[in-house]
Amino acid sequence: MKTTGSLMLLIPLLLSTAITTLHGQSEKTLVKSFNLNGNQFVLLDLEGNVDVKTWKGDLMRIQITVALENGTEAMLKSLVQAGRYNLKGDDATGEFVVTAPGLQRKVTVRGKELVENISYTVFAPENVTVRLNDSASTSKEDVKIPNQF
């Protein structure tokens, strides 16, 4: 009888822990650096929150924070390893363009679209002008970078 009583108490506890873990938000921070090859103009063609800061470095560094609302840590790790959040830099147009091509594909989990919250913190050299591509209105706006140093 004691074993049955203990199991009756243990099962709800395990279920609530499993449900909390499954519905908990998984988060990971990634960093990518770009050599701008002398370019002084950068276009960030990225969706999500973008915070631009200056720094005295020669490279542009982008910190990407990814949170999955309906995914697990293992799923997030797998998506990172598959290159979903890789950033690509291209300077063929006269300005350095940063994109996230892996995010163009939709991911579904158990028939529901994966909910990803992605934010970027961009550390740009002081002599670089950064513009955001606003995909909602397809207009471009200049980002004013305050001198923080």
What does the domain layout of the chain look like in residue ranges? 25-143
Dist. CA 91–CA 69, nearest whole Å: 34
- How far is 52 from 93, CA to CA, in rounded Å? 22
Strand partners, 52: 122
With residue 90 as reference, give the H or E element that holds it: strand 88-90
Structure token digits, residue 79: 């998506």
pLDDT at position 120 over 70 = yes
Q: Is the pLDDT of residue 7 over 60?
A: no
Taking the model in full, what pTM does it have? 0.73
Helix, strand, coil abundance in the chain, percent, nearest 5:
25, 40, 35
22 pLDDT higher than 60 = no
